[in-house]
Amino acid sequence: MLKPASLFSQLLSEIFTAVNFDNLVAKWGAERHAKGFRSKTQLISMLFCHLAGADSLREIVNGLSCCNGKLVHLGIKEYPRRSTLSYANNHRPAELFEELFWRLSDHFRSTGSLGCRKKKFRFKNKLLSFDSTTISLCLSLFPWAEFRRAKGGVKVHVLLDHDDYMPSFVSITDAKTHDSRMSKELALKPGSIVALDRGYVDFAQYQSWTDRGVFFVTRMKDNCVYSVQEVRTPPRNRHVLSDEIVRLTRTGMKERYPGLLRRITVENPETGENIVLLTNHLRFGASTIGEIYRDRWEIELFFKTLKQNLKVKTFIGESENALCIQIWTTLITQVPSLVRSLRERTIHLVSLLVIKWLHHLSKAGWSFSNMATMLRLDLFTYRALLFVAK
């Protein structure tokens, strides 16, 4: 028997059942002096932006206005005006949507609804990847996001949990912020393993992690000077070319990290490229260290999904707050379109989460992009959500 509600309505029901959104609105004072335009209507409008693939405020408003009679099932009485939605994106705290994302993430994770690790490792350590992606902005429209002489941009820094390939840390900064600076913001638990590229090489930070029992796997920079303390026999037929215990000897580096490190050279079986890895884990097999770094590719896929399926190229606001809101709602719904300011960035992330959850429930073997397309085309179709997922 079909539910008497649209797919969009059923998706919203999952969100508002999992999290008490009104309590979050009261906590952040988001509706102070609101004069009737509710935060719930703003959230629904932004989720519609991502799920329906709307590229502007006009498309959002016109799309919702064509659904009169169905909006009541979404929990709103009428579609918003362009000026009202624009003002809300520019002035309501993006932190409201940021907390909504983390509350939903915690809820779905607690029910095991976000998937599981693809590659099976024997170790039980928490495996994480840390990286960032830059979103280019037009400097004339976003003067606050100045990056280079004639270019603007913001960075989205993500710590990806490989248990379900969803973020456990997200930070949105200006594009000038160096990657290694953000690694100091991570609160990693002892025993965790974090994979990073060489843009994050900071031996003082690596020493701090080692002191706390946190392991790292990264690529070695060409300017590293070291002495070999021990040579280990690499395993056969595992694309491992060398396995050495080394100590840094270059002035500046050896003071920041005086302990032993492990230098492993592996061959990429697909390209034949030799990759030199550096880690403070001295016990795992060399091939396991290589596979840990190879699994870091999942964060690149995450960014690809964020930019391609969620259209993080089109912005509906120009303020920093509006951009944050759009990004956080993108992550919540994981579909298309971003915003023009750091506030609008926040709403975008909510999209990602909901589609990820539905994709996990699907028994049809669809790709993530096909799932996103299905929702975009059938958003107001009256069909049971779980029936679609299966």
In the predicted model, residues of the chain with pLDDT beneath 70 are 1-4, 112-116, 139-141, 144, 149-150, 308-314, 334-374, 377, 383-390
| Residue of 147, 112, 105, 156 whose CA lies nearest to 299 | 156
Interatomic CA distance for residues 203 and 246, integer angstroms: 14
Interatomic CA distance for residues 390 and 380, integer angstroms: 18
Residue 374 is predicted with a pLDDT of 66
Q: Give exposure, 213-227, as e/b (b: 16+ Cβ within 10 Å).
A: ebbbbbbbeeebebe
Residue 82 lies in a domain: yes
Its pTM stands at 0.84
Residue 204 lies in a domain: no
Residue 61 lies in a domain: yes
Encoded tokens for 224: 């590293």
Interatomic CA distance for residues 253 and 234, integer angstroms: 27
Q: Tens digit of pLDDT for each residue in 347-372?
A: 445 556 666 666 666 555 666 666 66
- Distances in Å between the Cα of 243 and the Cα atoms of 125, 247, 253, 266, 291 are 22, 13, 21, 9, 14
Residue 273 lies in a domain: no
Total number of domains constituting the chain: 1
Encoded tokens for 245: 């215990």
Interatomic CA distance for residues 302 and 318, integer angstroms: 25
Q: Tens digit of pLDDT for each residue in 165-202?
A: 889 999 988 888 888 889 999 999 999 999 999 889 99
Residue 337 lies in a domain: yes
Q: Which domain holds residue 38?
A: 7-110+317-389
Residue 284 lies in a domain: no
| Residue of 5, 12, 1 whose CA lies nearest to 351 | 12
